[in-house]
Amino acid sequence: MKINKIIPTTLVFLITLINMPGLAKEANELTRGEHYSISGYPLSLNEAIRLTLKNNFDIEIARLERKIIAYDIPIAKSIYDTTLTADVGYTVDEEEPSSATLPKKQNITEWNIGLSKKFSFGSILSLDFLNKRNSAAPSTAIINPYYKSDVEVSLTQPLLNNFFGFLDRGSVKLVRLDVSRLDLDELDNIEENISDVYTKYWDLVFAYEDRDSKKEALEYAENFLKITKDQYENGAAEETDLFASQANVEERKRDLLKTDKIISDTSDELKLAMNFFTEFTLSPQDKPTTSPVELNKETHILKALENRRDLESVKIELEKKNLSVRLKKNERLPQVDLIGTFTANGLAREMIDAVGEAASMDDPTYFIGVEVSYPLENRKARSEFRQSELEKAQTIWDMKRVEKEIFVDIEKDIRNIIFKEKQVKYNEKIYELQKKKLEGEEKKYGFGRSSSDIIIRFQDDVVNAKTGLSLALTDYEKAIISLKRNQNILLDEIDWVTYEEVEK
């Protein structure tokens, strides 16, 4: 009688074993489909990047910072702005005169207006319109009161220090180079945020894949518990086997609960990186793949040398240092300025007549001269020149260091991609072999030739192998992102320039 009960039970067990992988796979696919389409906010990788570009705080701050620093160039060019000056004044002069023919009291009113402009070749051109009204106490003066108007044009041209505007143009160019370097830094901040979103997206993909593995493990455990109960009722299994199977189910439930928390935490981290908050947990739509990547080291290094912003930044810094050396060398020279002035004078009882005489230029005054100034020790200029030479040498070494770092970074990334790709292949084989091992051991268990401890341990092996495969796949995707990040090509790939134009 006992044998008759065992045989049908064994047949049921064997049929269940044969169909269990297919049933588990079907249940897993159904669960995954329901999760991605119903539970949570569906999000593709491209959509995640688009939302990041639109909402991310750091990217928006960097975008505004780029606009802010761009104004440094017109600020530097302000040295060439035309300056308007105007003044008016009234003087009462009761000073004791040096001659009896001079009035003892004079009332003088002055109003003047002028324009001054510096040009890129260093010249300073000024145009002044000077007016005076003089009213004196009764004296021997022929004209009293009288108006005096002067039209004065003057030109100052540096000949050594700031030779034909060399220092002025150089200072503007230094600012322009600074703006370019700071702009590169801000673009790099933006790309760093994009890279961070890529990484967090694949972390979330892995979290979901891990939960799928834990669900599959729970289904295995529940099916095994059902079989163990049947065998226990038929006397083919011990009570300890039943306890072990029940504990295995609870452990799988605990592990599944833990993955739900990890998904929520990882989703929140991605939402924070994107600055995109929804009441739903994010549900990634993209799957990791091992799509082939061209891994020619020379090609990737060349691309990095062409695009790396830190290398471009240090090249700009070297250009600044070269220019600074030339500027400081010029600053050591004496200040020698050629000065020329032309003044047209007008004097009359009425203001309009005085202005007319000045405009006629019948009574001109000419002046030409040279003004020289030079600090005898000149310690400041000489020391700054030596400093600039040392800073240039320092920057050259810095550029060499960055170039070496680029070589190391790219070689490391390529090795990492090759390593991750091999890991994926090994983990695929391991996963398939672990599943076959479990299936074989479950068959042996049906014939009483195994134990619950072995089955549970083999189930762990399958779950760990599947988790290892999921981790290897997502790590492969992140390794590719790391290579692109170290080449500074992520912004080009997402068509950053076009996105900026659309935003404008």
- Tens-place pLDDT, residues 171-215: 999 999 999 999 999 999 999 999 999 999 999 999 999 999 999
The confidence score (pLDDT) of residue 493 equals: 87
Q: What is 86-132 written as a DSSP string?
A: EEEEEEEE-PPPSSTTS-S-EEEEEEEEEEEEE-TTS-EEEEEEEEE
- Tens-place pLDDT, residues 373-417: 999 888 999 999 999 999 999 999 999 999 999 999 999 999 999
The confidence score (pLDDT) of residue 273 equals: 92
Strands (E), 318-454: 335-348, 364-373
**Residue 440, C-beta contacts closer than 8 angstroms, at least 6 positions apart:** none
Region 481-494: what's the mean pLDDT?
92
The share of the chain scoring above pLDDT 70, in percent, equals 88
**Which of residues 20 and 351 earns the better pLDDT score?**
351
- Tens-place pLDDT, residues 125-178: 999 999 988 887 665 555 667 888 889 999 999 999 999 999 999 999 999 999
The confidence score (pLDDT) of residue 500 equals: 62
The confidence score (pLDDT) of residue 13 equals: 40
To the nearest 10 degrees (0 to 180), the angle between helices 379-446 and 297-307 is 140
Residue corresponding to tokens 């999000």:
43
The confidence score (pLDDT) of residue 27 equals: 33
Q: What type of residue sits at position 334? A: P
The confidence score (pLDDT) of residue 428 equals: 94
**Which of residues 351 and 297 earns the better pLDDT score?**
297
Kindly tell me if the per-residue pLDDT of 37 is higher than 80: no
Q: What type of residue sits at position 36? A: Y
The confidence score (pLDDT) of residue 30 equals: 32
For the entire predicted model, the pTM comes to 0.77
Domains and CATH numbers, the chain: 2-71+173-316+395-503 (1.20.1600.10), 83-118+123-161+335-373 (no CATH)
8 Å CB contact between 40 and 279: no
The confidence score (pLDDT) of residue 406 equals: 95
Three-state SS for 279?
coil
- Tens-place pLDDT, residues 359-382: 888 888 999 999 999 998 889 999
- Tens-place pLDDT, residues 415-443: 999 999 999 999 999 999 999 999 898 88
Q: Out of 23-32, 66-75, 107-116, 312-321, pick the least confident.
A: 23-32
